[in-house]
Amino acid sequence: MIAPVKHIAAMSPYALAKLDAPGGKRLISLSQNESLRPPSPCVAEAVSNTLASAHLYPDPNWGDVRTALSGLHGIPADRILCGNGSMELIACLTQVFADDQNAVLAPAHAYPFFRTATLMARARYDTAPEKGGYVCVDALLDAVRADTRIVFVANPGNPTGTRIPRADLLCLRAGLRGDILLVIDEAYGEFADGFREPMFDLVERGDTVILRTLSKAYGLAGLRVGWGLFPPRIANEVRKVMNPNNVSIVGQAAAAAVLRDQPYMLETCEMTCQLRDGFIQRLRASGFDVADSFTNFALIRFGDAMSAQRADAALRAEGVVVRAQAGVGLPECLRVTVAAAEHLNHAADSLVRWAEGEKP
């Protein structure tokens, strides 16, 4: 038998959504936080134009994408790294800056891939409690240990959907030692950009990285393009472990195209937020506990884990697949991705019927 190395053998596989529906039911996936509509129409032409160059390797420096991001956010192009989704960048950061001699810290209900990447790097994964689904800066600072090397914070959070203000993140950074890397994952940042609290300037300190993705608001989940703003020294080290051909020609062309069609992305965000808020209000009116959200999903909290499991089963019986959250320490919660109005209405109707059936 060919055995894996011990730290990999001890890991559980990354939990994927179970996308199946009972016979005779149409699958409605509200489980993966994908965009509710396809990317900008300009993507089709941009992608088509790349096919004649498919025999060539992609640009290892992501030139068009960097230029578009630099112009959009007013940030230096040469400090931008692009990845095969932001997951690649998270994995590379942990590989470079954490090992079996130190630890990575994150909020208790943080994005699960933070843990996966940490375990792949053989580091210890520590967590700090949250307060009502919100990242608690004081708790994070209290959880810092002598061997802490990286602190991950997703803002807005996944699966909580909550956000913390810039002032809190500045306090967190100020309270961390200079040898601790702070990574702020803004995968859902476009849905919260209306609050106009950009964090890119924090990168100038040299000890902070800001990550984003084009999978959510821009609708490129299937093409896998993430990016981040890195201090030069951090970027130089991370590039050592990155695949130099990580983002395909097609992915780069699509990314540059969607970044230059901001009105379409902003319209997507507006549509998403309207549908999300309407869905939340309807469920609250029916007695459900649903948190405020600054993302493209809503988190529903049930009375206990068993109730959440019964609600999940009731939804799945109707062909609606949502995401259980036991894996992040929230077994009483289900996460529902914002999708077309008819799909959200079907999910809400199913939940209300289930709740009526639960009453004694």
Half-sphere exposure of 355 (CA within 13 A, CB side): 17
Parallel/antiparallel/unpaired status of strands 181-185 and 208-213: parallel
Structure tokens at 195: 């609050």
**pLDDT at position 355:** 87
In 3D space, the residue among 124, 177, 185, 127 whose CA is nearest the CA of residue 154 turns out to be 185
Nearest-angstrom CA–CA distance, 313 and 152: 33
pLDDT tops 90 at residue 8: no
Q: Are 8 and 120 spatial neighbours (Cβ–Cβ below 8 Å)?
A: yes
Three-class secondary structure of residue 10 per DSSP: coil
Surface-to-core class of residue 279, CB atoms within 10 Å of its CB (0-12 exposed, 13-18 middle, 19+ buried): buried
pLDDT tops 60 at residue 322: yes
For residue 166, count other CB atoms closer than 10 A to its CB: 16
State pLDDT tens for residues 36-65. Answer: 999 999 999 999 989 888 999 999 999 999
State pLDDT tens for residues 329-353. Answer: 999 999 999 999 999 999 999 999 9
In 3D space, the residue among 121, 184, 120 whose CA is nearest the CA of residue 155 turns out to be 184
Three-class secondary structure of residue 159 per DSSP: coil
Alpha-carbon torsion, ordered 85, 29, 154, 74, to 10 deg: 50
Cα 163 to chain center, whole Å? 13
In 3D space, the residue among 359, 352, 354 whose CA is nearest the CA of residue 309 turns out to be 354
Structure tokens at 250: 């097609």
Q: How confident is the model at residue 271 (pLDDT cuts 50, 70, 90)?
A: very high
Nearest-angstrom CA–CA distance, 73 and 75: 6
pLDDT tops 70 at residue 211: yes
Q: pTM for the complete prediction?
A: 0.93
Q: Which residue has the higher pLDDT, 263 or 11?
A: 263
In 222-231, which positions are buried (b, 16+ CB within 10 angstroms) versus exposed (e)? ebbbbbbbbb
Q: Which residue has the higher pLDDT, 15 or 165?
A: 165
**pLDDT at position 193:** 73
Q: Are 200 and 75 spatial neighbours (Cβ–Cβ below 8 Å)?
A: yes
Structure-token match 């951090």, residue found: 234
Residue type, 176: L
CA distance to 15, 86, 284, 303, 329, per residue, from 306 (Å): 20, 33, 20, 8, 14
Structure tokens at 176: 């961390």
**pLDDT at position 15:** 62
Nearest-angstrom CA–CA distance, 47 and 201: 33
State pLDDT tens for residues 99-155. Answer: 999 999 999 999 999 999 999 999 999 999 999 889 999 999 999 999 999 999 999
For residue 50, count other CB atoms closer than 10 A to its CB: 17
Nearest-angstrom CA–CA distance, 172 and 187: 19
Q: How confident is the model at residue 26 (pLDDT cuts 50, 70, 90)?
A: confident
Nearest-angstrom CA–CA distance, 132 and 258: 35
Structure-token match 């009375």, residue found: 303
Domains and CATH numbers, the chain: 6-38+263-358 (3.90.1150.10), 56-260 (3.40.640.10)
Nearest-angstrom CA–CA distance, 203 and 208: 5
